[in-house]
Amino acid sequence: DAGVIQSPRHEVTEMGQEVTLRCKPISGHNSLFWYRQTMMRGLELLIYFNNNVPIDDSGMPEDRFSAKMPNASFSTLKIQPSEPRDSAVYFCASSEQGRGYTFGSGTRLTVV
Amino acid sequence: KQEVTQIPAALSVPEGENLVLNCSFTDSAIYNLQWFRQDPGKGLTSLLLIQSSQREQTSGRLNASLDKSSGRSTLYIAASQPGDSATYLCAVTLGSGNTPLVFGKGTRLSVIA
pLDDT tens track for B23-59:
999 998 898 999 999 999 899 999 999 998 999 999 9
Name the DSSP letter for residue A84: G
Of A45, A100, A104, the CB nearest to B49: A100
pLDDT of residue A97: 77
Burial (CB count <10 Å: 0-12, 13-18, 19+), residue B108: middle
What are the residues facing A79 on neighbouring strands? A19, A65
Query: Average pLDDT of A97-107?
Result: 87
Distant-in-sequence, close-in-space partners of B58: CB < 8 Å, separation ≥ 6: B48, B64
B51-101: per-residue pLDDT in tens? 989 999 999 999 999 999 999 999 999 999 999 999 999 999 987 668 899
Q: How far apart are the first and last CA of chain B?
A: 41
Q: Are B94 and B1 in contact (CB under 8 A)?
A: no
**Is the Cβ pair A45, B100 closer than 8 Å?**
yes
Closest-CA residue to B61 (of B44, B83, B30, B33) = B83
Distance from CA of B86 to the nearest CA of A (A): 15
Assess whether pLDDT exceeds 90 at residue A99.
no
**CB distance B23 to B104 below 8 Å:** yes
Q: Looking at chain B, which residue has its C-alpha nearest residue A107?
A: B43
In this structure, the strands spanning A74-79 and A65-71 are antiparallel
| Chain B nearest-CA residue for A29 | B98
Reported as a pLDDT band with limits 50, 70 and 90, residue A94 is: very high
| Residues 6+ away with beta carbon under 8 Å from A63 | none
* pLDDT on residue B41: 87
* Confidence tier at B1 by pLDDT (50, 70, 90): confident
In sequence order, the β-bridge partners of residue B7 are B22
In angstroms, what CA-CA distances link B64 with B60, B67, B77? Answer: 11, 10, 9
**Cβ–Cβ contact A38 with B under 8 A:** no
Lowest mean pLDDT across A50-54, A100-104, B17-21: A100-104
What pLDDT, on the 0 to 100 scale, is given for residue B65? 97
Contact assignment for B103 to A43 by CB distance below 8 Å: yes
Q: For the stretch A38-61, what's the b/e string if a residue is b when 16 or more beta carbons lie within 10 angstroms of its beta carbon?
A: eeeebbebbbbbbebeeeeeebbe
Under an 8 A CB cutoff, do A103 and B36 touch? yes
**Contact present, A13 and A111 (Cβ < 8 Å):** yes
